[in-house]
Structure 1
Amino acid sequence: MLVYGRSKYIIALLVLLLSTLYSLPNLYPQDPSVQITPNRGAKVDAAFQARVADALKAAGVTPKKIEIQGGGELLVRLPTPDAQIRASDVLRDAVGSNYVVALNLASTVPGWLRAVGARPMLLGLDLQGGVHFLMQVDQKAALQKRFESYAEDLRVLMRENRVRYESVERKPDNSIVVTLAPGAAIADAQALVAKNMPTLGTEVAGNSIVVRVPQSEIDKITTDAIERNVGTLRNRINELGVAEPVIQRQGNDRVVVELPGVQDTAQAKRILGATATLEYRGVVEGNAYDAVASGNIPPEARVYYRKELGPDGKPVPILLNKRVIASGEQLVDAKSGYDSQSGTPMVSITLNGVGGQRMFDYTSQNVGKPMAVVYIERIPEVKKVNGQEVKTIRTSEQVINVATIQGVFSKQFQTTGLESPKEAADLALLLRAGALAAPMDFVEERIVGPSLGAENIQRGVEAVGYSFLFALVFFLIYYRMFGIITCLALLLNLLVVLAILSFMGATMTLPGLAGIALTVGMSVDANVLINERIREDLRLGLPPLTAISEGYKRATGTIMDANMTTILAGVALFAFGTGPVKGFAVTLIVGIVTSMYTAVSVSRGIAALIYGRRRKLQSIAI
Structure 2
Amino acid sequence: MLQIDLWKRVVIWLTIAVGLLLAMPNGFYTRVEQHNDAIKAIEAGADTTENREQAALWPDILPSGLVNLGLDLRGGAHLLAEVKLADVYAARMEALWPDVRDVLRPERETVGTIRLQPSAPGELRVRISNPDGMVRALELVRGLAQPVVSLTGAGATDLDVRAEDSDIVVTLSEAEQQATDERTMQQSLEIIRRRIDEVGTREPTIQRQGSERILIQVPGIGSAAELKEIIGTTAQLTFQPVVGRASSADATAGVGNEILPSLDEEGVFYILESVPVVTGEELVDAQPSFDQNGSPAVNFRFNPGGARKFGDYTAANIGTLFAIVLDAEVISAPRIQSHIPGGSGIITGQFTVEEATNLAVLLRAGALPAGLEFLEERTIGPELGQDSIDAGKVATIVAFVAVLVFMALSYGLFGLFANVALIINIVLIFGLLSLIGATLTLPGIAGIVLTVGMAVDANVLIFERIREELRTARGPARAIELGYEKALSAIIDANITTFITAVILYVMGSGPVRGFAITLGLGILTSVFTAIFVTRLLIVMWFERRRPKKIEV
The two structures have a TM-score, normalised by structure 1, of 0.71
Question: Hey, what's the Cα distance between the residues in 2 that align with 1:257 and 1:107?
Answer: 34
When residues 201 and 475 of structure 1 are mapped into structure 2, their CA distance, relative to the original with a 3 A threshold, is: closer
State the aligned residue count.
534
In structure 2, what is the equivalent of residue 113 of structure 1? 62
SS of equivalent to 2:61: helix
Residue pairs, 1:266-415, within 5 angstroms: 266-284=225-243, 298-304=254-260, 319-334=271-286, 349-376=300-327, 397-399=328-330, 402=333, 404-409=335-340, 411-413=343-345
SS of equivalent to 1:248: strand
Question: Hey, what's the Cα distance between the residues in 2 that align with 1:616 and 1:335?
Answer: 72
Amino acid at match of 1:550: L
When residues 75 and 572 of structure 1 are mapped into structure 2, their CA distance, relative to the original with a 3 A threshold, is: farther
Amino acid at match of 2:306: G
In structure 2, what is the equivalent of residue 251 of structure 1? 209
Question: Hey, what's the Cα distance between the residues in 1 that align with 2:257 and 2:189?
Answer: 34
* Residue 74, structure 1, aligned to residue 26, structure 2: no
Query: Quick check: 1:136–1:254 contact (8 Å CA) kept in 2?
Result: yes
Query: Quick check: 1:373–1:400 contact (8 Å CA) kept in 2?
Result: yes
Question: Hey, what's the Cα distance between the residues in 1 that align with 2:65 and 2:41?
Answer: 21
Q: 1:231 aligns with which of 190, 194, 198?
A: 190
SS of equivalent to 1:323: coil
SS of equivalent to 1:30: helix
* Structure richer in strand, relative to its length: 1
SS of equivalent to 1:442: strand
* Residue 200, structure 1, aligned to residue 157, structure 2: yes
In structure 1, what is the equivalent of residue 552 of structure 2? 621
Question: Hey, what's the Cα distance between the residues in 2 that align with 1:67 and 1:239?
Answer: 11
Query: Quick check: 1:131–1:258 contact (8 Å CA) kept in 2?
Result: yes
Identity level (%): 33
When residues 358 and 163 of structure 1 are mapped into structure 2, their CA distance, relative to the original with a 3 A threshold, is: farther
Cα deviation, residue 570, structure 1: 0.5
* Residue 531, structure 1, aligned to residue 436, structure 2: no
CA deviation profile, 1:143-199 (whole Å, cap 9, x unmatched): 4334444x246337627x956573578988987677777569659736852579887
Cα deviation, residue 263, structure 1: 2.0
In structure 1, what is the equivalent of residue 78 of structure 2? 132
In structure 1, what is the equivalent of residue 153 of structure 2? none
Cα deviation, residue 521, structure 1: 0.8
Q: 1:158 aligns with which of 98, 103, 112?
A: 103
**Higher mean displacement: 466-475 or 301-310:** 301-310
Query: Quick check: 2:91–2:122 contact (8 Å CA) kept in 1?
Result: no
Query: Quick check: 2:208–2:215 contact (8 Å CA) kept in 1?
Result: yes
Cα deviation, residue 563, structure 1: 1.2
Question: Hey, what's the Cα distance between the residues in 2 that align with 1:547 and 1:171?
Answer: 88
Query: Quick check: 1:337–1:347 contact (8 Å CA) kept in 2?
Result: yes
Question: Hey, what's the Cα distance between the residues in 2 that align with 1:291 and 1:132?
Answer: 36
Cα deviation, residue 568, structure 1: 0.8
When residues 536 and 419 of structure 1 are mapped into structure 2, their CA distance, relative to the original with a 3 A threshold, is: closer
Query: Quick check: 2:323–2:333 contact (8 Å CA) kept in 1?
Result: yes
Question: Hey, what's the Cα distance between the residues in 1 that align with 2:393 and 2:56?
Answer: 21
Question: Hey, what's the Cα distance between the residues in 1 that align with 2:477 and 2:316?
Answer: 97
Cα deviation, residue 545, structure 1: 4.4
SS of equivalent to 2:498: helix
Cα deviation, residue 499, structure 1: 2.3
Residue pairs, 1:566-577, within 5 angstroms: 566-577=498-509
Question: Hey, what's the Cα distance between the residues in 1 that align with 2:70 and 2:470?
Answer: 49
The two structures have a TM-score, normalised by structure 2, of 0.78
In structure 1, what is the equivalent of residue 152 of structure 2? none
Amino acid at match of 1:606: L
Amino acid at match of 2:363: L
Cα deviation, residue 279, structure 1: 3.4
Query: Quick check: 1:418–1:424 contact (8 Å CA) kept in 2?
Result: no
When residues 492 and 406 of structure 1 are mapped into structure 2, their CA distance, relative to the original with a 3 A threshold, is: closer
Query: Quick check: 2:36–2:55 contact (8 Å CA) kept in 1?
Result: no
Question: Hey, what's the Cα distance between the residues in 1 that align with 2:195 and 2:473?
Answer: 71
Cα deviation, residue 572, structure 1: 0.8
Query: Quick check: 2:238–2:277 contact (8 Å CA) kept in 1?
Result: yes
Question: Hey, what's the Cα distance between the residues in 1 that align with 2:246 and 2:44?
Answer: 52
SS of equivalent to 1:590: helix
CA deviation profile, 1:394-422 (whole Å, cap 9, x unmatched): xxx44555555444435344556658777
Residue pairs, 1:494-513, within 5 angstroms: 494-513=426-445
Query: Quick check: 1:509–1:580 contact (8 Å CA) kept in 2?
Result: yes
CA deviation profile, 1:62-111 (whole Å, cap 9, x unmatched): xxxx9994664235669xxxxxxxxxxxxxxxxxxxxxxxxx98584422
SS of equivalent to 2:144: helix
Point out where structure 2 has 5 or more consecutive residues left out of the alignment: 150-155
Question: Hey, what's the Cα distance between the residues in 2 that align with 1:264 and 1:468?
Answer: 36
Query: Quick check: 1:475–1:484 contact (8 Å CA) kept in 2?
Result: yes
SS of equivalent to 1:600: helix
* Residue 24, structure 1, aligned to residue 34, structure 2: no
Cα deviation, residue 348, structure 1: 5.2
Residue pairs, 1:438-517, within 5 angstroms: 438-454=370-386, 456-517=388-449
Amino acid at match of 1:355: G
Provide the alpha-carbon RMSD of the alignment: 4.4
* Structure richer in helix, relative to its length: 2
Cα deviation, residue 593, structure 1: 1.4
Amino acid at match of 1:113: L
